[in-house]
Every structure is written in C-alpha cells, then in structure tokens.
Amino acid sequence: MRAKAVVIGVALAIAALTSGCQQVLQSGLPDPQLTERDKKMMALAEPDEWRIPTVRKLVEYHTAEKPGTIIVDTGPRNLYYVMPGNKAIEYRVATGAEAYGWTGRAAVGAMKEWPTWMPTASIMERWPEFKAYIAHGPLEGRWDNPLGARALYLFQGNRDTLYRIHGTNEPSEIGQAVSSGCIRMRDMDVIDLYNRVHIGTPVVVK
C-alpha cells in the first residue's frame, strides 16, 4: 500500500512539472461564511451555480506584487488574490469581450453586498432595450441581478473607472470573454474574495 502511494505521488509530481501549470497546493477551498440574506438569495440561484464544480484553489504563485493584491490575468481568465509565501488563491473569471476589456492598475474604492444595477450609458448605447431603465430605475440587489452577490468598484485615485469585479447571474459563462468589460466571478467566489479585501486593496488587470 505504501509503495502504491509513493508511485501515485511521483506520478502526480511529474504531471505537475510537465503540464506547464502551477502546482495546486489545495483545491476545493471551503465555501465562505454566508449571511442570512446570502443564504436566502443563494437558495434561488441558477442551478448552474451548484452544478458547475468549484475550482477555487490555493496555488504556487510568484509575483513582485505584495500580499493582499488582486491580480486579474485576462489571458487565461484567472483572478489571483496574492497570499504570503509565494501563494495565491486562484479563481476563474469571465472578462470583457474583445474591445470592451480594460487593463491597468486601480484600487478598490467601494464595496457593496447585493448591489443594485443600473446600465451604463455605453451599455444603453450598444443595447437600446436597456434604455427602459432610465424610467425603471436601478435593478434591486438580488440573485438575478447582473452584479450578483458582491461588487468591488475599481477607482484610480478619486475617479471611478466604471469597471467592477462582481458576481454574476450567469455562472455558466465563467471562463469566457463575454462581459461588457467588467470582471465577473461566481457568487460564492466573489463572496469569498469580498471577505478578504478592503477599501484600498490594489488591483492589477493585465
């Protein structure tokens, strides 16, 4: 039995080295603590939220950025929350479709739980049907809101960039380039990230 375990361990190590991927230290990290409102809302979430396997994990991650920094890698569509000791929590995200993405440095300037959503002027220009919200007003914060369970608002100095890291009501689109420019996360993942950050947390999107 011991010999078999050693063989399996060696095989996994070789696979990690030859795959070109970062070695996973722990996969399937525990879900975050939910508020009572979270529990009620998540009970109404789309079935995909529960069918799609959780891929949040702790990985080896070498960067010059300080622990506590959020790094969004728009190529592979991963978000990293940098931890001490060359580690990071890796989350899968959806990024902006071509020509609608944003890259640069910012900081978390505001944080909201179950935020309201109002289409921006650019969204209404591209999709005129959303102009109904001018009379309707913002969509209340709930499980079917496009911003999902949490939103981190990205600022450069005192200027709102109008880009967000937020949840989604379409978890099946995580891992794709589909949004109008913001960074989408599954609701459980954005709740986990929200619980780790604060106003002023640095954000790098590359």
Single out the catalytic residue among 21, 62, 136, 182. 182
Single out the catalytic residue among 21, 62, 166, 198. 166
Burial class from Cβ neighbours inside 10 Å (0-12, 13-18, 19+) for residue 157 reads exposed
Is 166 annotated as catalytic?
yes
From CA 172, how far away is CA 70, in angstroms rounded? 23
Is 62 annotated as catalytic?
no
How many helices, marked H, and strands, marked E, lie in the chain?
A: 6, 12
150 neighbors 166 (Cβ within 8 angstroms): yes
Q: Count other C-beta atoms under 10 Å from residue 119's C-beta.
A: 21
148 neighbors 117 (Cβ within 8 angstroms): no
From CA 134, how far away is CA 124, in angstroms rounded? 10
Q: Which residues are catalytic?
A: 166, 182
